[in-house]
Amino acid sequence: MWERGVDVPARSKAKSPDRIRIEHPAPTVDDGAWPVKRTVADTVHVSADIFRDGHEVLRAVVRWRGPSERRWRESPLTPVDAHFNGVRWEGDFTVEAPGATQWTIQAWVDLFAGWRDELARKVEFGQPDLSGELSEGVVLVQAAAERAKGEEARRLTAAAEAIATDPHAALDPALLELVESVQERTEATELPAPLEVDVDRTLARFGSWYELFPRSWGGFKGVQKQLPRLAELGFDVLYMPPIHPIGHTNRKGRNNTLTPEPGDPGSPYAIGDETGGHDAIHPELGTDADFRALVDAAREHGIDVCLDIAINCSPDHPWLKEHPEWFFRRPDGTLKYAENPPKKYQDIYNVNFGSEDWRGLWDALLAMMRHWVDRGVKVFRIDNPHTKPFAFWEWLIREIRATNPEVIFLAEAFTRRAVMRELAKIGFTQSYTYFTWKNHRWELVEYVNELAHGPERDYFRPNFFLTTPDILTDYLAEGGPPAFPIRLILGATLSPSYGVYSGYEHYEHVQRPGSEEALDNEKYELKQRALDGPLLPMIQRLNRIRRANPALQRLDNVGFLDAANDAIVAYAKREGANTIITVVNIDPHGAQEGLVQVPYDLGVPPAFLAEDLLDGELYNWRVGGNYVRLDPGERAGHVLRVNTT
């Protein structure tokens, strides 16, 4: 709620208090405390309650300026006649460049339009003497002529002479348009302070991510050889876990054991050894030149390289000697290793953000981030950001994006919802989500509707990663290979951004006993990886479908459909003339059938052809009920494009 306090002005030439009210502007986050988020070329729909005492005619505009722009642009707002004498106004503007776009609303009294409306009523009712009214109009038009130039000024001067004796001349619509274009904005009132839109490039909203451990692919040079195939598969982001030197002390062995065998590589999250820390590269992966070559080659293939930033330090990290004050110590002087009960990370120490030298720590972490930005990295996955101070992330993201607004930050934060929301508000571009564990129809519908249509839609962008090296859900472990296409279709068609870890396309579904992690976890051992998993053809097909259909590139357009069967999830997305209906059997153990209800308000013909984009099959569908039967062993779902031609 905007503050309404009014100070009584001193008696003199002080401006009288504003009489126009502008309230409840939208879109906002926490009443303007944080910017809303959009991507380049998005249209921002603006609205507000705008009203004034009395019967004056009001006009209003939305004004905006992009990053580094000094001049404001504006677009008209129009009243919404939702009810008699409604006060809600709305309009639009388009954002054009990454960074902070400011916007505000300005409203004013249109004196000429108010005078003209009053005159029109008197003319209609046949009032005989309008000389006094016409004299007022002459003054208004003459004032407009003084503000105009050239031909417009001449036209207005002539109009002032004409309306002095002819009321009908004052009712010319062309005159109204001309006067409004140049007259003074009387009682002009704006929001107390501009609001902001945080604008990102399109990848912040829409993209397909592929995660791999470069050490399982022959280092940077081996990964670079995979770029043409990754591009063919339709991936936009190549995400790699930490690429830094790995500590020797307390190194983990296979399956997270405390007794590594000779040659065990250790976890890449135990960062740092005698050769360097967070700004160094593990020598077995390649050189700095090799890394730069990978980033450049990926960009040529339309792929962004994403680095994992984990603020973890192995016991051998250089910072422990150079800055011992940055780490937690118990009263007996010993260092405390990281824990997340029941998980223990004996090979990792957390930094102490409560250190007396917290400013030095912040500056070092910012310098580390700039090091990788300077090497062409524009996407970062941040490990466990919810365990670090909000103020630190707000500052760091602001500092990075002040010079590099194209940089994207993905929050790996599986934690309390309020914390995840706060991370998004303070600057994180995207976030991991609870989708990984939403496996029943009711909870999928509830969760996706909350993300797509609740208050979070203006600032929280989900990334539906299907699995991670840390997470192999019971649903996949128990459902086996048939469960993998199910989750793939859901993730790729529900969320504009989704991610695949390289074990996924191989149906890796055996859990380590007592854990939600995969057995023989790649975090702790080398694997020989290749792009040959049996699920890759479907992944490629879905990525092509996503790129070809704008309806799948947004989240806020999703609407769930009834299927009379809780084992079948159906939903529609529409963007312009493009409509996609997706139907998925979420039971990996057997066939399910149902009657999918297409609502009348979806905007499709009463009867239409539905093309399954997964295999090209055509079906005759209609508004109303449509029978489907899906067997996950043969067909996990339909991705149907409505054909209206």
Q: Facing residues of 618 across strands?
A: 611
> Which has the closest alpha carbon to 634: 602, 603, 592?
592
- The HSE-up count of residue 565 (CA atoms within 13 Å, CB side) is 23
Active site residue 383: yes
Distance CA 635, CA 206 (A): 26
Residue 579's Cβ-count burial label (10 Å; 0-12, 13-18, 19+) is buried
Query: What amino acid is encoded at 309 in this protein?
Result: I
Provide the b/e sequence for 411-444 (b: ≥16 CB within 10 Å): bbbbeeeeebbbbbbbbbbbbbbebbebbebeeb
Distance CA 274, CA 638 (A): 54
Distance CA 146, CA 156 (A): 9
Distance CA 513, CA 523 (A): 16
Other CB atoms closer than 10 Å to residue 495's CB: what's the count? 25
Q: Facing residues of 629 across strands?
A: 593
Q: Which two tokens stand for residue 575?
A: 């963007």
Q: Facing residues of 34 across strands?
A: 29
Active-site annotation holder among 304, 412, 456, 522: 412
* Cα–Cα distance list, 122 to 164, 364, 418 (Å): 16, 74, 59
For residues 607 and 461, is the Cβ–Cβ distance under 8 A?
Answer: no
Distance CA 275, CA 281 (A): 9
* Cα–Cα distance list, 261 to 250, 252, 257, 265, 266 (Å): 12, 9, 10, 9, 10
Q: Is the peptide bond before 599 cis (omega within 30 degrees of 0)?
A: no
Distance CA 372, CA 26 (A): 37
> Tokens 């250790």 correspond to what residue?
266
Give the orientation angle of helix 173-182 with respect to helix 150-163, to 10 degrees. Answer: 130
Active-site annotation holder among 196, 200, 236, 383: 383
For residues 460 and 432, is the Cβ–Cβ distance under 8 A?
Answer: no
> Which has the closest alpha carbon to 180: 243, 115, 269?
115
Active site residue 200: no
Residues 6+ apart with CB under 8 A from 67: 97, 98, 99, 100, 101, 199, 405
Q: Which two tokens stand for residue 250?
A: 């307390």
Pairing of strands 337-340, 207-211: unpaired
* Cα–Cα distance list, 146 to 116, 149, 186 (Å): 19, 8, 16
Q: Which two tokens stand for residue 477?
A: 């472990």
> Which has the closest alpha carbon to 505: 525, 526, 485, 478?
485
Q: Which two tokens stand for residue 465?
A: 């990663």
Q: Give catalytic residue positions.
A: 383, 412
